[in-house]
Amino acid sequence: MDLQAILLAAAIVGAVGLFAGVLLSLASEKFKVKVNEKEIEVRAALPGNNCGACGYPGCDGLAAAIAKGEAPTGACPVGGDPVAKKIGEIMGSGDGESAVRLVAHVMCKGDCEKAKEAYEYVGPQDCRIATNTPGSGPKGCSKGCLGFGSCVKACQFSAIRIENGIAVIDPKKCKSCKQCTAVCPRHLIEMIPENAGAVVNCSSNDFGKDVKAVCEAGCIGCGLCAKNCPQEAITVENHLAKVDYEKCVGCGACKAKCPVKIIE
């Protein structure tokens, strides 16, 4: 083979390669996506549950929002104060903005001994399936915990157990992911401040006499708790007492006056 032809071919290949390299370099510079280093660090600091409890589409979405200054450093309810402080250091805002930690709480105390059953249920042990039976389940109270454990199965942190026929949540294990609130068909699980001074363990809006007919542990809407609260932190709305957690100081006056003993 002619040596000159070989050298010419090599020169052409080299020139094409050089030209392609230059084009790729220019293209990468023009179309490159700028990476926010703080976003990467914040994402690494987040627990990675991707539960969406922060209001953003997973940990990636929250990390991007924090890095842009659109979300507080303490926006992750699962991570709590330790993660908030770490992210605060990354963002250069000191110890971070610690949000009030919310924990899930079952607003019902109608266990097997206190709540009446309308009939004997025979079927899959799943609250969502049971609500498709007559009366939306066997519980006499239409807002009572069915106790079949849909929330237990939904909790990734083993923070919920069924005790004497109702769901009970361990606030120390709760990571505020809200998976249990989403799965409860009767919407009995609410997110409350971890340090809440008082909570009314009932969700029924029925009249007092109707509540007493099906449950010994239901709010009868008597209003004694509201009348005796020195902070005016309790109101009775639609036959049910509600606590304003920001006003409540945990003095215990409402608990002492409640005739059905459902305030803790």
**What percentage of residues in the chain have a pLDDT greater than 70?**
89
Identify whether 117 is part of a domain. Answer: yes
184 with 223, same domain: the answer is: no
State how far the Cα of 192 lies from the Cα of 179, in Å rounded to an integer: 15
Identify whether 66 is part of a domain. Answer: yes
State how far the Cα of 219 lies from the Cα of 28, in Å rounded to an integer: 66
Rg (alpha carbons) of the chain, rounded to whole number: 29
Tally of structural domains, the chain = 3
**What's the mean pLDDT in 48-52?**
80
188 with 200, same domain: the answer is: no
Helix 80-91, helix 37-45: angle, nearest 10: 160
68 with 113, same domain: the answer is: no
Q: How confident is the model at residue 143 (pLDDT cuts 50, 70, 90)?
A: very high
Q: Is the dihedral of CA 64, 70, 73, 78 positive or negative?
A: negative
Tokens of 152: 């237990």
Phi-psi region of 227 (alpha: psi -120 to 50; beta: other; left: phi over 0): alpha
Element housing 226 (H / E): helix 224-227
For the full predicted model, state whether its pTM sits above 0.85.
Answer: no
Residue-range definition of the domain harbouring residue 61: 37-91
178 with 202, same domain: the answer is: no
207 with 186, same domain: the answer is: no
Give yes or no for a contact between 91 and 46, defined as CB atoms under 8 angstroms apart: no
Q: How confident is the model at residue 33 (pLDDT cuts 50, 70, 90)?
A: low
